[in-house]
Amino acid sequence: MILITNDDGAEANGIKTLTRLMTQIGNVVVVAPDGPRSGQSNALTVTHPVRFKKSNEREGLTEYICTGTPTDCVKLALNEIVERTPDLIVAGINHGSNAAINVIYSGTMGAVLEGCENGIPSIGFSIDNHSLQADFTLFEPYVLKITRKALEEGLPDGICLNVNAPVGEISGIRTARQCKGRWVKEFEKRTDPHGKAYYWLTGYFENHEPGNEETDEWALAHQFISIVPTAIDMTDYNFMETTRNWEF
Amino acid sequence: MILITNDDGAEANGIKTLTRLMTQIGNVVVVAPDGPRSGQSNALTVTHPVRFKKSNEREGLTEYICTGTPTDCVKLALNEIVERTPDLIVAGINHGSNAAINVIYSGTMGAVLEGCENGIPSIGFSIDNHSLQADFTLFEPYVLKITRKALEEGLPDGICLNVNAPVGEISGIRTARQCKGRWVKEFEKRTDPHGKAYYWLTGYFENHEPGNEETDEWALAHQFISIVPTAIDMTDYNFMETTRNWEF
């Protein structure tokens, strides 16, 4: 059984595409947010309760919508909805790239990290196009291939996959690492009718290592699908030696 | 200049304690959420705008409150509030441990990762006590020592510190790694007056490697302060070789 969620909400084309593809592989349970939850990272709903309800059921596919975040969706699915542990969790297809530092902001990758944390092979699929009308056609066979490969080979405990696709032609698949870079000029300041300022999050990603062929951003810019093996253990093991030798 | 934020909100004792301590080291700017934002991870506010306002100003200390998440607070501070890049970002003191997997859920550590992502030495301080009346007295000299050491020695680009303190006596400081384990029995199901189910997030942390002296959980359980060097690059470099050899 394959569990699916996303952060664009149950009505997004991306999750509908992913659901259609996954039903070719096995039984599917969808537990998706009831609206957009982009940029929700691994956020949990703690100040109020969450709810879910079944929205659709047919042979091989059961769908639920949930009032919470993508991470809540995975937690609710595992604790309250599915009867046995899923063989796989997939999230997406995200409308927008989750390459580079976006992995830490993404609700889709939050759900993937949550699946991974629970010992379940987990994959996030995203396309480098924020449009709600993004065309997934060329990505679809690769989503199936990567999913089947991960199911066949397995993923080690604590490691999930962050898969991103370019817009347009696809030259192939490249294993890559998370590109260094950061978002800049992040807010657009406006003034409300009462003369008070408010700020919309916006900005653009500044690549700090353009031209580096090892990175996920390079892969996307050169029409490759990037696969970044992503760890839930955030410890920097090299720097431990340094802090261990600090004298206080 | 030191920038401070947290996820328990501007009124929490933890951030008041941290602010008092940091003013002993340098000029301080506080940009804190206007209420509790626990479990907000690196969540961003994208569906509506954010606002901030100055709440207090005296020699060496300026305080703002912000309607957004802890990550929003750091982004707003760096983009719209402070005139030059802070020398250091500290977050906390969090009411509750951010050891082990809590690093990915924590709004406090979200803010620290955001500071780190922006190339600024960043440290999260937490105490293993969720009470709003948690006593920070014994932790305070260590917060100062660790902060001064990090300022003196510097932190490498892309690496921040996740510092957690036990409740009660402190035996010393240990560099540790993120403990393996997961949250279980995560929801409490209730029924509303209309007969419909709702779910409160709760549960407890199950340590998967109790007795392992390398972990942050072991340090806390043995009255040590844990320092986990934490990386914003989540790539698992070892597993890249495997996925690179996958044939599709």
Query: Chain B contacts of A190, Cβ < 8 Å?
Result: 49
Closest-CA distance, B161 to chain A, in angstroms, reads: 9
The ipTM of this complex is 0.96
Per-residue pLDDT of A17-46, as tens digits, reads 999 999 999 999 999 999 999 999 999 999
Task: Work out the burial of residue A196: count CB atoms within 10 Å of its CB; fewer than 13 is exposed, 13-18 middle, 19 or more buried.
Answer: exposed
Chain B residues in contact with A74 (beta carbon < 8 A):
none
List Cβ neighbours of B131 (8 Å cut-off, separation of 6 or more).
B95
For an interface test with B, give the residue of A163, A199, A218 to mutate (most B CBs within 10 A). Answer: A199
Are the C-beta atoms of residues B148 and B108 closer than 8 Å to each other? no
Chain A nearest-CA distance from B197, in A, is 7
Q: Look at the pTM and tell me if it is higher than 0.95.
A: yes
Q: Which two tokens stand for residue A45?
A: 């709903």
Measured in degrees and rounded to the nearest 5, phi and psi for residue B80 equal -125, -15
Are B75 and A240 an interchain contact pair (Cβ–Cβ within 8 Å)? no
Note the Cα B98 to chain centre separation in Å: 7
Per-residue model confidence as pLDDT tens digits over B151-174: 999 999 999 999 999 999 999 999
DSSP H/E element including B17: helix B13-22
Residues B64 and B1: their CA atoms lie apart, in Å, by 15
Which residues in chain B (200-219) have CB-CB distances under 8 A to chain A? 200-201
Give A168-193 pLDDT, tens digit per residue.
999 999 999 999 999 999 999 999 99
Query: Along the 248 residues of chain B, how does pLDDT read in single tens digits?
Result: 999 999 999 999 999 999 999 999 999 999 999 999 999 999 999 999 999 999 999 999 999 999 999 999 999 999 999 999 999 999 999 999 999 999 999 999 999 999 999 999 999 999 999 999 999 999 999 999 999 999 999 999 999 999 999 999 999 999 999 999 999 999 999 999 999 999 999 999 999 999 999 999 999 999 999 999 999 999 999 999 999 999 99
Strand partners, A236: none
> From the CA of A179, how many Å to the nearest CA of chain B?
8
A142 three-class SS: helix
Q: How close is the nearest chain B Cα to the Cα of A182, in Å?
A: 7
DSSP state of A49: -
Residues A210-232, mean pLDDT to the nearest whole number: 98
Q: For residues B80 and A199, give the distance between their C-alpha atoms in angstroms, rounded to a whole number.
A: 9
B170 — contact with chain A (CB < 8 Å)? no
User: In which residue are the tokens 């990175």 written?
Assistant: A215
**Any chain B CB within 8 A of the CB of A119?**
yes
Per-residue confidence (pLDDT) for residue A124, from 0 to 100: 98
Whether residue A232 and residue B79 make contact (CB cut-off 8 A), yes or no, is no
Contact: A187, B149; criterion CB under 8 Å: no
Of A39, A145, A230, the CB nearest to B44: A39
Q: How many Cβ pairs closer than 8 A exist between chain A and B?
A: 204
Instruction: Tell me the chain A residues in contact with residue B208 when contact means C-beta distances shorter than 8 Å.
Output: none
Residue A126 near residue A93, CB atoms below 8 Å: yes
Q: What secondary structure does DSSP assign to A152-194, as a single string? A: HH---TTEEEEEEE-SS---EEEE-BPPPEEEES-EEEEE-TT
**Regarding beta strands A224-231 and A2-5, do their DSSP bridges make them parallel or antiparallel, or are they unpaired?**
unpaired
Interface contact B57, partner A, CB < 8 A: no
Interface test with B, best of A8, A118, A201 (most B CBs within 10 A): A201
Question: Is B84 in a helix, a strand, or coil?
Answer: coil
Closest to B9 (Cα-Cα) out of B62, B74, B65, B71: B65
| Residue A65 to residue A81: CA distance in whole angstroms | 11
Structure tokens belonging to residue B174: 């240990």
- B167-202 burial: b if 16+ Cβ within 10 Å, else e: beeeeebbbbbbbbbbbeebbeeeeeeeeeebbebe
Beta bridge partners of B88: B2
Domains and CATH numbers, chain A: 2-180+210-233 (3.40.1210.10)
A positions 123-152 inside 8 Å of B (CB):
142, 145-146, 149
How many angstroms separate the CA of residue B40 from the nearest CA in chain A?
A: 4
Give the separation between CA A22 and CA A42, rounded to whole angstroms: 24
To probe the interface with B, which of A41, A81, A149 has the most B CB atoms within 10 Å? A41
Provide the percentage of residues in chain A whose pLDDT is more than 70: 100
